């Protein structure tokens, strides 16, 4: 559904209360076109931190059978307490 909104003199628009509290991304697609998307967004510094961590901690192959055994043992232990 398309909405026609007027941009106030201070550059703000109101897109409705149903959007209140959400994180949104506004992408300028061209001089007369904006794309507004709701979602959960990770700040660039957090991504940079993760990339540094990932460089120091490369992925390792997982032994799925051993992992499932550990998870079963943990679940069994947790059920007792």
Residue 38 corresponds to which tokens in the numbers above? Answer: 């709701």
> Dihedral of CA 51/56/62/67: which sign?
negative
Q: What is the pLDDT along the chain (81 residues), one digit of tens a residue?
A: 788 999 999 999 999 999 999 999 999 999 999 999 999 998 888 899 999 999 999 999 999 999 999 999 888 877 766
Strand partners, 37: 25
Q: So what's the pLDDT on residue 44?
A: 87
Spatial distance between the Cα atoms of 21 and 34, rounded to a whole number of angstroms: 20
Q: So what's the pLDDT on residue 81?
A: 65
Spatial distance between the Cα atoms of 39 and 24, rounded to a whole number of angstroms: 6
- Please list, in sequence order, all residues whose beta carbon lies within 8 angstroms of the beta carbon of residue 24, skipping any fewer than 6 positions away: 36, 37, 38, 39
Q: How many CB atoms lie within 10 A of CB 32?
A: 6
């Amino acid at each position: 559904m398309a909405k026609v909104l007027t941009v106030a003199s201070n550059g703000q628009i109101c897109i409705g209360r149903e959007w209140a509290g959400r994180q949104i991304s506004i992408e300028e697609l061209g001089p007369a076109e904006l794309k507004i998307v709701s979602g959960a967004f990770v700040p660039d510094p957090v991504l940079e931190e993760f990339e540094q961590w990932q460089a120091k901690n490369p992925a390792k192959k997982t032994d799925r059978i051993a992992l499932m055994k550990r998870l079963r043992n943990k679940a069994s232990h947790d059920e007792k307490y």
